[in-house]
Amino acid sequence: MPDHDSTALLSRQTKRRRVDIGVKRTVGTASAFFAKARATFFSTMNPQGSEQDVEYSVVQHADGEKSNVLRKLLKRANSYEDAMMPFPGATIISQLLKNNMNKNGGTEPSFQASGLSSTGSEVHQEDICSNSSRDSPPECLSPFGRPTMSQFDMDRLCDEHLRAKRARVENIIRGMSHSPSVALRGNENEREMAPQSVSPRESYRENKRKQKLPQQQQQSFQQLVSARKEQKREERRQLKQQLEDMQKQLRQLQEKFYQIYDSTDSENDEDGNLSEDSMRSEILDARAQDSVGRSDNEMCELDPGQFIDRARALIREQEMAENKPKREGNNKERDHGPNSLQPEGKHLAETLKQELNTAMSQVVDTVVKVFSAKPSRQLPQVFPPLQIPQARFAVNGENHNFHTANQRLQCFGDVIIPNPLDTFGNVQMPSSTDQTEALPLVVRKNSSDQSASGPPTGGHHQPLHQSPLSTTGFTTSTFRHPFPLPLMAYPFQSPLGAPSGSFSGKDRTSPESLDLTRETTSLRTKMSSHHLGHHPCSPVHAPSTAEGLSLSLIKSECGDLQDMSEISPYSGSAMQEGLSPNHLKKAKLMFFYTRYPSSNMLKTYFSDVKFNRCITSQLIKWFSNFREFYYIQMEKYARQAINDGVTSTEELSITRDCELYRALNMHYNKANDFEVPERFLEVAQITLREFFNAIIAGKDVDPSWKKAIYKVICKLDSEVPEIFKSPNCLQELLHE
C-alpha cells in the first residue's frame, strides 16, 4: 500500500481520535468542571480551606460574629473536604464511608489514595468510562448519575483496573501478548501505558498480535481476573450496605440542619437571605413529621460519635419543637448553639452547604419558572409563574423531587451552580425522566410565546433550538452541555447576565412578572457573586474554564458588554430587545421592496426594537438569507429555462402565476396575506434574466460570477412604504 494511503489513513485516524478525545474531553472536562465547581463551592463554604484559596464565604452575609461561629464549625469539616475534593463524586457520603471502612478494617488501603489529584480524577473517570461503561457514559459521567455507591465502586474498580493494567504491561514486557478483551481498546491502552509508544503503525501491528495470543496467557490472566472479581464483588457488597447506612444518616442530618437552620436564620433574614423563608416553611412542615418518627430506628446504625451528635440534635430538636413553633426566639439555641455545637459542626456544615445549595437551586429554579411562565400564554398551566414549593427539597424521601429541581437548574446552571447536592449521593438515579422535566422549562421559555403576539424574548431562537433541545439536549445526562446558556442568548441580555434579561419587553403586559424577575435577579446576583466569584455577569467564565464551548456564540450574540449597558436603561421601556416572528414576517415583506437594506434603514423600520449589535446583525443576516434564497431560486429557474430550451430573455417573464413567483411568495409571504408589489415582479424578472444571460454566457464558471448580478440587483431596491415603519404595520398591512 502506498505510503500516501497510509498517511491519509493515519490522518483520518488522528482526526477521529481527536474527535474522540474531544468527546471525552467534553466528558472529562465536564467532570473536571464539576470538580472545580464543587471545589469552589466547598471553598466557599470553607474560607479557611487548606487547599482552596478562594476567599469567598457564603456566611459573609451573616454578621461577623455569626460568621465566625460558622467558620469555626465549618472548619471542622475541612478535613473531610481535603481528601475528597478532587474526585467529583467523592463526597460526604464517600467520606463517611471511608470512615466506616477504616472502622471496619478497610480492605482497600489504596482506596484512600485514589483520586487525590484532580488530574487523577479525570484519568480515573476516563478509565472507568473506557473500560466499564463505554456505551453508557451517563454512568460514569454524571456525578449524581449513579448513587455515590457506584462512584465509590468505580473508584475501587479503577484501582483494580490499574493494577490489572500494570500486570498486563509486565506481561507485555515479558514478550507476552494481551488478552483479546483488552485489545478492544488497544490503542487507548497503549496510549495510556506507553505514551511515547511507537508509531501508529506499530500499534496497529501490536493490535494484530493481540488478536492471537497464546491461550495459556489468556487462562492465567483470566484466572487472575476472576479472582479479583470475586474480591471486588465482596467488597462491593459491603460498600453498598455501608452506603445505604450512610444515606440514611445523611437524611437525618439534613433534617437536623433544617431545624438548626431555621432557628439560626431568623438573623440572616436581615440581609435578605434569598428565598429561604419561603422554602423553609414548607420544608418545616414536611420535616416535622418525618423527624419525629424517623430517627429512632437508625440510631443504632450510627457511629458512636455520630450517635452522640445525633442524640444531642434530637434533644435540641425536641426542645425546639416545644419551645418555638416556627422561628420565634429560640435564642438559646442560637446563642450558644454554634459554639457549643462543636461536635455537630460537621453536620451543620454539611447541612448548611446543602441548604445553601438548595436555596440557590431554588432561586435559579424560580428564575427559570418565571421565564417559562411569563411568555407562556399558551402553556401557563404547566408552570405557574412562581410555584417553587413543590420542587422544594423534601428532606425525607422526597429527594427525588429535589433532585429533579436541581437538575433542572443545571440545565442552564451547570456553569453557574455547583451542585454539591449530587455529592450527597442521592439514592435515586437521575433517570432520563428527571431530565426531561427540565426540557419544558428551557423549551417553553423559548417556544412559548412568539407565535401569538411576538413577545420580546428573543423569539428568533425558538424554532431552532426547540427541537434539538427537546429531543436530545437534556434528555440524558450524557449531554451535560457545559454551556446550555446560549439557548437563552437573548433573554439573557440583561445587564446582570442573569436569566432575567428578557423581561423588559414583556413587563409592559405583566408587571408582576417583572417584579418577580427583578427579585430573582437580585437573588441570583447574590448567588452568583458568591459562587461565580467575580464574574456574576459572565456566564462565559465558567464554561470557558471547562471548555471553550460556545464561547464564540456567546461572545458574538450577547456577550457584548457595550450592548448590555445599552440595554439596561431601556429595560422596562417599550423597546423590544429581541426580534419576534412578527419582525421576521415584516422583514420578509420588506424584502419585496428592498433586497439590500442598510442597517440604518433597518433601524428606522424596526423602531420598536432596541437595536444592538446582535439585533442589527441578525436583521442583516435575515436579509442575507432572504437574498440567498432569492438568488438560488433565480438561478434554479434560469437554468431550468435554459434546459427547457429557452434561448432569449424575452421569453422569460415573471407573472403572479408562474412557478418562480409562487416559490418566492411562499417563502416571503407564506400566508399570502400581503399583496406583492408589482415592482418586485419586475425586479425578479430582471434578476432572472441576469442569471439567464450569465449562464448562457458561461460566466458561471467563475466562482464569483454571481457578484456581478448582485451588483445589478442591489440597485433595484425601491422605497419601503412608510407604513412599514409603524410597529403595528403588520396588523395594518394585513388587515387592509
Partner DNA sequence: ACTAGTCCTG
Partner DNA sequence: CAGGACTAGT
Q: Which residues bind DNA (CB under 7 A)?
A: 460-461, 463-464, 486, 489, 550, 552-553, 556-557, 579, 584, 588, 596, 598-599, 613, 616-618, 620-629, 631, 667, 704, 706-707, 710
* β-bridge partners, 609: 576
Hey, what's the cell of 528? Answer: 452568583
In 432-506, DSSP assigns E strands to none
Nearest-approach distance from CB 221 to DNA, in angstroms: 43
* Beta carbon nearer to DNA, 360 or 664: 664
When the beta carbons of 402 and 412 are compared against DNA, the nearer one is 412
Could you tell me if 77 and 91 are in contact, meaning their C-beta atoms sit under 8 angstroms apart?
A: no
Residue-wise DSSP of 384-423: -TT--GGGS--SSS-HHHHHHHHHHHHHHHTTT---GGGG
Q: Judged by CB, which is closer to DNA: 346, or 461?
A: 461
DSSP three-state, residue 615: helix
Select 354 or 448, whichever has its Cβ closest to DNA: 448
Q: Please tell me the distance from the alpha carbon of residue 231 to that of residue 582, in angstroms, as a whole number.
A: 66
Question: Residue 424 or residue 474: which is nearer to DNA going by CB?
Answer: 474
**Cβ 353 to DNA, closest distance in Å?**
35
Least distance to DNA from the beta carbon of 498, Å? 19
* Shortest Å, Cβ 352 to DNA: 39
The burial class, CB within 10 Å (0-12 / 13-18 / 19+), for 693 is middle
Instruction: Tell me how far CA of residue 621 lies from CA of 13, 159, 218, 587, 630, in angstroms.
Output: 37, 54, 62, 11, 14
3-class DSSP state of 609: strand
What's the closest the beta carbon of residue 565 comes to DNA, in angstroms? 14
Measured from the CB atom, the residue of 368 and 549 that comes closer to DNA is: 549
**Complex with DNA: residue 320 or 619, whichever CB lies closer:** 619
Considering the complex, state which of residue 227 and residue 632 has its C-beta at the smaller distance from DNA: 632
We find the least distance from the C-beta atom of residue 490 to DNA, in angstroms, to be 9
DSSP string, 200-266: HHHHHHHHHHHHT--HHHHHHHHHHHHHHHHHHHHHHHHHHHHHHHHHHHHHHHHHHHHHHHHHHHH
Closest approach of DNA to the CB of residue 8, in Å: 19
Q: Round to whole Å and give the CA distance between 537 and 554.
A: 12
CB of 468 to DNA, least distance (A): 8
2 in helix, strand or coil? coil
Cβ distance to DNA smaller for residue 24 or 588: 588
Please choose, from the candidates 264, 256, 253, the residue with its C-alpha nearest in 3D space to the C-alpha of residue 69: 264
CA distance 439 to 468: 11
Q: Which is nearer to DNA, 350 or 563 (CB)?
A: 563
Say how far apart CA 406 and CA 441 lie, in whole Å: 13
CA distances from 171 to 168, 177, 219 (A): 5, 7, 13
Give the separation between CA 670 and CA 653, rounded to whole angstroms: 22
Which residue type does 583 have? H
201 exposed, middle or buried (CB, 10 Å; 0-12, 13-18, 19+)?
A: exposed
> Which of 284, 401, 399, 418 lies closest to 360, judged by CA?
418
Minimum distance of DNA from residue 386's CB (angstroms):
29
Residue 348 burial (10 A CB sphere; 0-12, 13-18, 19+): buried
Q: Which is nearer to DNA, 570 or 710 (CB)?
A: 710
**Exposure class string for 132-165: b at 16+ Cβ within 10 A, else e:** bbeeebbbbbbbbbbbbbbbbbbbbbbbbbbebb
Dig out the grid coordinates for 169 from the structure: 504491561
576 phi and psi, to 5 degrees? -90, 145
Residue number, 36 or 460, with CB nearest to DNA: 460
192-195's contacts with Cβ under 8 Å and 24+ in sequence apart are 192/127, 192/165, 193/165, 193/168, 193/169
| Least Cβ distance, residue 566 to DNA (angstroms) | 12
- Smallest gap from residue 508 Cβ to DNA (A): 23
Nearest approach in angstroms of CB 554 to DNA is 9
Secondary structure (3-state) at 576:
strand
> Among 599, 623, 600, 586, which residue's Cα sits nearest to residue 723?
586
Compare residues 124 and 461 and give the one whose CB is closer to DNA: 461
Residue closer to DNA, measured from CB, 134 or 627: 627
Query: Of 381 and 704, which has the nearer Cβ to DNA?
Result: 704
Q: CB nearer to DNA: give 434 or 557.
A: 557
Residue 249 beta carbon to DNA: minimum distance, rounded to whole angstroms: 46
Least separation in angstroms between residue 415's CB and DNA is 16
Least distance in angstroms from the C-beta of 652 to DNA: 21
Min CB(606)–DNA separation in Å: 13
Rounded CA gap, 295 and 299, in Å? 6
**Least Å distance between CB 181 and DNA?**
35
Kindly report the number of other CB atoms within 10 A of residue 281's CB atom.
14
Residue 408 corresponds to which cell in the numbers above? Answer: 433542572
Which CB atom, from 351 or from 618, has the smaller least distance to DNA?
A: 618
